[in-house]
Amino acid sequence: MNAALHSTAVPKTPRFRPKVALAMQDSDLRDALFSKRLRSRLESICDCDFSLVIQDFKATPDEAIEDVDVLLTGWFSPRIDATVLARMPRLRLIAHAGGSVKGHVLPECWERGITVTTAAEANALPVAEYTLGLILLAGKSTMAASHLYTQRQTKIDRELEFPDSGNYERSIGIVGASTIGRLVLERLRPFDFDVSVYDPTISDAEALRLGARRLGLDELMSGSDIVSLHAPVLSGTVNMVGPAQLAAMKDGSTLINTARGELVDHNALIAELKSGRLNAFLDVTSPEPLPAGHPLYTLPNVLLTPHIAGSMGSELHRLAAYAIDEIERYAAAAPPRFPVGLTDLVRMA
């Protein structure tokens, strides 16, 4: 079995049975996160009322949360602030079945000594897999070949029409050595790619350990056949791929964005795409969704998908499994595997 799919919990007899409450968007998300097997596994190590999904702490009676030891949170969990903490004196762990916790875990939680964990790595895995797929498809000129075949509806001479296609010694540029960026770099290793990375927070030596050469952003943009974005949205990264960076990209090269739409100047990108000079695989945009009639919906050199790179369908079960692992470790008095510190918030999406 793939190591990423099985439990990483410490095989140790639980010290006690904690009481767990669910806090997330709604019962539909609860049902998507927990398979029967995962629900059974959680119930074997703790007391959890699955009929209660906290969407608003103000609407939740005190008796439902006053003796809760663990909050298992999901997307769009209500905020956990000082007022909530005052009503939950026994709370010791917030196990998030998702990526970023900055939307619902307030600094007061760390100030009170509560352990916070995330399933960010579990959510990063499908994004990295999806990105690898897009890189391989881009290298084979898949989008252009499909359009041409559909248009002509006859034999296509591959070597005549796509002489520069192929994935041997293709130049790949990764922007951001984030959790996802590192997973993508790891998955690129078996291929015959020339890989570079831009991230001002890492050294040349660390980049080499990741299997890439560290370059400046402009140098990476101009030297890569395919550029894939994996940086967080910070004050210094909004529109980091602007007119100058896009103009520097090679004719026929491809921009992949599975991170955040805010990283790219969309007006500049649309201008380059309309010229036919570049290609783009976009799973995220700004705004999201785009308004009806937006040119990105119809440009032939754009593959536009509705934010599907992250966990969806069966992949949501992995998020719940990671959160259950952390609860099992807590019940066994073992350290968390994926803790989040207050200082980590600035790097989260």
Provide the number of structural domains found in the chain: 2
92 part of a folded domain: yes
Residue with the two structure tokens 């702490």: 57
What mean pLDDT comes out for the span 21-25?
A: 98
Reported as a pLDDT band with limits 50, 70 and 90, residue 1 is: very low
Residues 298 and 318 in one domain: no
Q: Is residue 163 part of a domain?
A: no
In this structure, are 187 and 292 located in the same domain? Answer: yes
Q: Identify whether the C-beta of residue 235 lies closer than 8 Å to the C-beta of residue 222.
A: no
| 178 and 280 belong to one structural domain | yes
DSSP letters, 132-184, are HHHHHHHHTTHHHHHHHHHHH-S---HHHH-TT--STTEEEEEE--SHHHHHH
Closest CA to 257 of 248, 266, 249, 267: 266
Residue-wise pLDDT tens digits, 327-343: 999 999 999 999 999 88
What value does the mean pLDDT take over residues 303-321?
A: 97
Q: How large is the average pLDDT for residues 9-30?
A: 85
The DSSP 8-state label assigned to residue 315 in this structure reads G
Q: What is the mean pLDDT of the chain?
A: 94
Q: What is the pLDDT of residue 10?
A: 55
Which residue has 């579990």 as its token pair?
Answer: 122
Q: Which two tokens stand for residue 233?
A: 């949205």
Distance CA 265, CA 257 (A): 12
Same domain? 296 vs 324: no
Range of the domain at 201: 168-304
Can you give the pLDDT at residue 343?
86
Contacts of 198 (CB under 8 A, 6+ apart): 173, 174, 175, 176, 214, 215, 216, 217, 220
pLDDT at 5 over 50: no
Are 296 and 339 within one domain? no
Quote the tokens at residue 289: 């969704």
What pLDDT does residue 2 have?
Answer: 44
Name, in order, each residue with C-beta under 8 angstroms of 279's C-beta and a sequence gap of 6 or more: 138, 143, 144, 252, 253, 254, 255, 273, 301, 302
Q: Which of 246, 303, 240 is nearest to 278 (CA)?
A: 246
pLDDT at position 81 over 70: yes
Verify that 297 and 323 share a domain, yes or no. Answer: no
- The pLDDT assigned to 306 comes to 97
Q: Do residue 265 and residue 317 come from a single domain?
A: no
Longest dimension (CA), the chain: 72
Q: How far is CA 220 from CA 175, 204, 212, 349, in A?
A: 8, 14, 11, 23
* Exposed / middle / buried, residue 216 (Cβ in 10 Å: 0-12, 13-18, 19+): exposed
Co-location of 48 and 67 in the same domain: yes
Confidence of residue 93 (pLDDT cuts 50, 70, 90): very high
pLDDT score at 49: 96
Q: Quick one: pLDDT band at residue 13, thresholds 50, 70, 90?
A: low
Please report whether residue 91 resides in a domain. yes
State the pLDDT at residue 8. 53
Is 162 among the domain residues? no
In terms of domains, do 220 and 327 share one?
no
Whole-prediction pTM: 0.89
Are 114 and 58 members of one domain? yes
What is the per-residue pLDDT for 15? 77
pLDDT of residue 295 exceeding 70, the answer is yes
Q: Which residue has the higher pLDDT, 128 or 100?
A: 128
Active site residues: 260, 288, 307
| pLDDT value at residue 345 | 77
Give a yes or no: residue 10 inside a domain.
no
Q: Is 146 domain-assigned?
A: no
CATH code, domain carrying 102: 3.40.50.720
Q: pLDDT over 90 for what percent of the chain?
A: 91
Q: Quick check: is 30 in a domain?
A: yes
Q: What is the pLDDT of residues 192-227, one digit of tens each?
A: 999 999 999 999 999 999 999 999 999 999 999 999
